[in-house]
Amino acid sequence: MISTPELKIRQMTVADHDQVTDWCNIEGWNLSRSNIEAYFESDPESYFVGEIDGKVVCSVSATRFGECATMDLYLVDPVHRGKGYGWAIFSHALNHLKDVKYVGLHSVPEQVATYEKSGFKLFERIPRMSRIAERMPSSDNLVDLRKIPIEKLEEYDRPYFGSSRLNFLKAILAKEDTLALGYLKDGELRGYGMLRKQNVGYRISPMVVEDSKIAEDIINGLQSLVVGEEVSMDVYEKSKEVLQILEDQKWNHIFDFYKMFLRGPSNLDTKKACAPVVELG
Ligand SMILES: CC(C)(COP(=O)(O)OP(=O)(O)OC[C@H]1O[C@@H](n2cnc3c(N)ncnc32)[C@H](O)[C@@H]1OP(=O)(O)O)[C@@H](O)C(=O)NCCC(=O)NCCS
């Protein structure tokens, strides 16, 4: 490993978000600043950048949701790669998470071997699917998710995600560009999905559903809100029924991420929590 005495690691601030968003989109991850902000607002102390001579050259996030954490935004300015700055800031974030029970991340295929070096193990492939949204059949069971009390949503979501993520749900629903639908049956919440504006188009995430009929209704309802726009969705490989719905609707397979865990896996039910919670990169 390379030593990096000159790198100064500090907490990320809102002023750093444009730079980090740009790096993400150079990598083709298709994220919006607003999206990064929602995650940041749920745990701002867990976002870091590294500076050389006052210039930001690298970033990483280690967002905590109760007893789970996820690492994202692991980026080094392309002109500063290979100098040890990546490992330095990543180690800092790992240390920040030393008391957290479950630690995971989503890796691009090229970095799986790198993460394995620091003890992460492969958990599941996550294909990214995409299409141009069309007007789809509607369902009377769909409601505006913001009409559901946030405590009720958190209680519903917790067993699927594996831990409470109240702050995240609040932050993401507070963003004006988040569109969100709940699925009610006999007055009870049986699934939900969010559609979040990205650099290009929209992404469905997170989405929690109890069966494939509910999944199809939510996917259709969300698409109908943004007809003509590109929509994408990162779906766990084991969510075979959801992938089948997308294949039947002729969604395209864009690329793959890989869910990896350092500690865990948690009790995440990837058949029901279809679109990953966090896919910042
Ligand atoms: C991935 C990335 C952040 C690494 O930063 P970097 O500056 O290229 O890497 P460093 O110079 O810090 O690497 C130094 C050493 O630490 C290792 N290392 C870096 N990150 C590591 C990690 N997370 N776990 C274990 N080892 C790591 C490197 O493999 C290298 O090992 P070596 O000296 O044996 O070759 C950088 O290449 C990048 O921005 N890539 C594009 C974005 C991306 O793919 N991010 C990850 C998304 S999942």
Can you spell out the DSSP letters for 95-159?
HHTTT-SEEEEEE-GGGHHHHHHTT-EEEEEEEEEEEE-------TTEEEGGGS-HHHHHHHHHH
Beta pairing partners, 195: 179, 204
Residue 281 confidence (pLDDT): 40
Check if 258 has its Cβ closer than 6 Å to any atom of ligand 1. Answer: no
Taking residues 111-127, report their average pLDDT: 95
Could you tell me if the CB of 2 is within 6 A of ligand 1? yes
Answer yes or no: is the C-beta of 75 below 6 A from any ligand 1 atom.
yes
Note the pLDDT of residue 267: 60
What phi and psi values does residue 14 have, to the nearest 5 degrees? Answer: -60, -35
The answer to whether residue 164 scores a pLDDT higher than 60 is yes
Query: Mutate which of 87, 117, 121 to test ligand 1's pocket (most atoms within 8 Å of Cβ)?
Result: 87
Decide which of 126, 147, 177 is a domain's last residue: 126
β-strands 68-76, 102-107: how paired?
A: parallel
C-alpha dist (Å) from residue 216 to 65, 125, 141, 189: 28, 21, 12, 16
Residue ending a domain, among 126, 156, 184, is 126
- For the residues 160-182, what does the mean pLDDT come to? 90
Length of the chain: 281
Give the per-residue pLDDT at 260: 93
> Is any ligand 1 atom within 6 A of the Cβ of residue 115?
yes
Beta-bridged to residue 232, according to DSSP, are: 130, 203
Q: What is the pLDDT of residue 196?
A: 92
Report pLDDT for 272. 66
Tell me which residue of 19, 36, 38, 32 sits closest to 197, measured CA to CA.
32
Q: What is the tens place of the pLDDT at every residue in 47-69?
A: 999 999 999 999 999 999 888 89
User: What's the pLDDT score for residue 1?
Assistant: 45
CATH number of the structural domain spanning residue 184:
3.40.630.30
Pick from 56, 105, 111 the residue to mutate for probing ligand 1's pocket: most ligand atoms within 8 Å of its CB: 111
In this predicted structure, the answer to whether residue 19 has a pLDDT above a threshold of 50 is yes
Helix (H), strand (E) at residue 232: strand 230-234
Q: Quote the pLDDT of residue 275.
A: 56
Partners of residue 32 on adjacent β-strands: none
Q: What mean pLDDT, rounded, does the chain reach?
A: 91
Whether residues 134 and 188 fall in one domain:
yes
Same structural domain, 115 and 72: yes
pLDDT at residue 7 greater than cutoff 90: yes
Residue 64 domain-assigned? yes
CA pair distance 48, 257, nearest whole angstrom: 23
d(CA 30, CA 24): 7
Whether residue 273 lies inside any domain: the answer is: no
Residue 238: which pLDDT band, with cuts at 50, 70 and 90?
A: confident
- Helix or strand or coil: residue 279? coil
Ligand 1 touching residue 79 (CB < 6 A): no
Last residue of a domain, one of 91, 126, 161: 126
Ligand 1, atom 14: closest residue by C-alpha: 84
Task: Tell me: do 146 and 108 sit in the same domain.
Answer: no
The whole-number pLDDT of residue 268 equals 65
Residue 280 has a pLDDT of 47
Q: Is residue 267 part of a domain?
A: no
pLDDT score of 269:
67
Cis ω on the peptide bond leading into residue 78 (within 30° of 0)? no
Mark whether 117 and 162 lie in a shared domain.
Answer: no
Q: Is the CB of 120 under 6 A from ligand 1?
A: no
Rounded mean pLDDT, 166-181 = 93
Q: Is 118 in the pocket of ligand 1 (CB under 6 A)?
A: yes
Q: For residue range 193-225, what is the model confidence (pLDDT) as tens digits? A: 999 999 999 999 989 998 999 999 999 999 999
Same domain, 120 and 141: no
Closest residue by Cα to atom 32, ligand 1, is 1
Mean pLDDT of 95-122: 95
- Is 274 a domain residue? no
**In the predicted model, is pLDDT for residue 115 greater than 60?**
yes
The answer on 34 and 122 residing in a single domain is yes
Task: From the CA of 110, give the closest atom in ligand 1.
Answer: 44
Q: Which domain holds residue 16?
A: 8-126
Number of other residues whose CB lies within 10 A of the CB of residue 76: 22
Against a cut of 0.75, is the pTM above it? yes
